[in-house]
Structure 1
Amino acid sequence: MKTWLISLALLLCLLLPGSDVWAQNLPPFPQMPLGSGLPAVTVQTGPHGEQTWTLSMQLLALMTVLTLLPALILMMTSFTRIIIVLSFLRQALGTNQTPSNQILLGLALFLTLFIMTPVLDQSYTQGFKPYMAGTLSAEQAMPLALAPFKHFMVEQTRDPDLQLFSKLAHQGPYAANADIPLRVLVPSFVTSELKTAFEMSFLLYIPFLIIDLIVASVLMSMGMMMLSPTLISLPFKILLFVLVDGWSLLLGTLAGSFYT
């Protein structure tokens, strides 16, 4: 203990600004020139009018895109429908936290990746690959990269929802899917996904609700009104879900609903 205190005292003495050891052993602190700091954000203009963004501006744009990435995954892919149906399944089974939120999110993410792989491959081939090769500029590559996502969202969007948001935005009708702006297409797509997810969840809920009603009526007829029906119906619901191979049936139906 005394050795530890002595070592700490010597370290404090070395760190004091007026210590001779500090002045003898450490090199002088470099003087920073006036006006130094973070580099300014500038745009360099080439001889033909093209503009080149500095590294600091590119990093700022990259960080902005990374912050918007979760919203893009939620709103422009199949993730919304999948996670809603899986959440309703857990409620219908009556299991409070089984499967856990982490498992449901991981399953929804990987199933989303499975469904969106053709769209991602097409977007990479059309837009990002020519841009990385230098054959297309960012302004030319962006519409080509977004075209597969727009086509995917239009295929899953109901016409009334698209007409609703087009009317609210005072735009349309559109000659092609590529002409639909994202500020109209994304809310239309999300609204349609919510409707489809709730329809699938309702159909999924019915068999488990029937089991709850049967168990509750049997317990009431036997005079066991103080016994919770959930304790009795939960094993039967799990048994029914396992016997019909529920996970394969549900995930296959979710994946197939995007290809029809």
Structure 2
Amino acid sequence: MRRLILLTALLVPLAGAAAAQDAGGFLGAVADALGDAPAGSDDRAQLSGRIVQLLALFTVLSVAPGLLVVMTSFTRFVIVFSILRSALGLNQTPPNMVISAMALFMTFFVMQPVLMDSWEGGVEPLLENTLTEEQAVARIGEPFKAFMFANTRPKDLALFADYAARSEGVEGELAAAETAEEASWRALVPAFMISELRRAFTIGFLIYLPFVALDLIVASILMSAGMMMLPPVLISLPFKVIFFVLIDGWYMLAGSLMESYLPVAGG
């Protein structure tokens, strides 16, 4: 054990030094490439643009999980699936990994038109050097902004827009944004989140109703039979599962969730 600890203590500084040396070598190569290129030349401008694009890519990848939650349909899907599992009375079936994966792939399916518009309108021209970074960022965000605006309640958007105006010292009631271009990102993103949460909990309530009815029926039968010590949930669980299977619940639920976005995502 002591030898292992000593070996680890020796290897960690060596690994850190090697990583620092590699990073220094990479940065040195970049600096040499920039220094060799003449000032104002196209090669230097292209190399600088590629470096900026690389840094932007790393930044986007680091915040991608958060963007996935706040700017797509992932929130609604994962909440509805979690509520369905609770309504069925199943603690860990399906597992959290399965629920998250199903919500993730359904999100990609629903958001595919938005992602394609973002790619064709902003990312692809940026890679072809036909747009600047500022123009590309604006075009990449336009499809997502339109998607969020179409799925956000005007009441929620007005709430955050009014607070943003008051925080900036603007007095008087502001007119609600009528188009996605008029809405600000600062107000649109949180408004979209609370709108998604409201819809997800509404769907969850409707999902809970038939299963609660089954629990009440089973509890009434057990009490009438004098079996009050037997947990009703234990008896109603297989009936709830077979009921959900017989009505083809996964098909109905997945279809309803996707159709709730279909007019927006497809149009």
Normalised-by-shorter TM-score class: 0.7 to 0.9
Corresponding residue of 2:120: 125
Alignment correspondent of 2:67: 72
User: Who wins on radius of gyration, i.e. which is larger?
Assistant: 1
Q: Aligned partners of 2:82, 2:198: CA distance in 1, in Å?
A: 15
C-alpha distance in 2 between matches for 1:164 and 1:94: 37
Q: Which amino acid aligns with 1:188?
A: A
d(CA) in 2 for partners of 1:185, 1:241: 37
Aligned length: 225
Name the SS of the counterpart of 2:262 in structure 1: coil
Counterpart check, 1:233 vs 2:228: no
CA spacing shift, 1:139–1:201, aligned 2, 3 Å:
same
1:213 is the counterpart of 2:216: yes
Work out which structure has the larger RCO, using CA pairs closer than 8 Å and 6 or more positions apart in sequence. 2
What runs of 5+ residues in structure 1 fail to find an aligned partner? 1-35
More helix by share: 2
Q: CA deviation at 1:65?
A: 1.9
Deviations 1:94-137 (A, max 9, x none): 01100000100110000000000011111111111111111111
Identical pairs, percent: 49
CA distance in 2, matches of 1:129, 1:58: 12
Q: Distance in 1 between matches of 2:184 and 2:57?
A: 22
The correspondence of residues 1-260 of structure 1 with structure 2, limited to 5 A, is: 39=27, 46=40, 53=48, 59-170=54-165, 173=175, 174=177, 176-260=179-263
C-alpha distance in 2, partners of 1:153/1:46?
41
For the residue of structure 1 that corresponds to 2:201, the secondary structure is helix
Pair 1:46–1:158, CA change in 2 (3 A): farther
Deviation at 1:59, TM superposition (A): 4.7
1:257 is aligned with what amino acid?
S
Residue 223 of structure 1, CA deviation = 1.1
Kindly provide the CA deviation profile for residues 29-77 of structure 1, in whole angstroms up to 9, marking residues without a partner as x. Answer: xxxxxxx7784899998489x8974877655443322221000000000
Deviations 1:155-211 (A, max 9, x none): 100010000000011085446312322121110000100000000000010000000
In the superposition, the TM-score normalised over structure 2's length comes to: 0.77
* Unpaired stretches in structure 2, ≥5 consecutive residues: 1-23
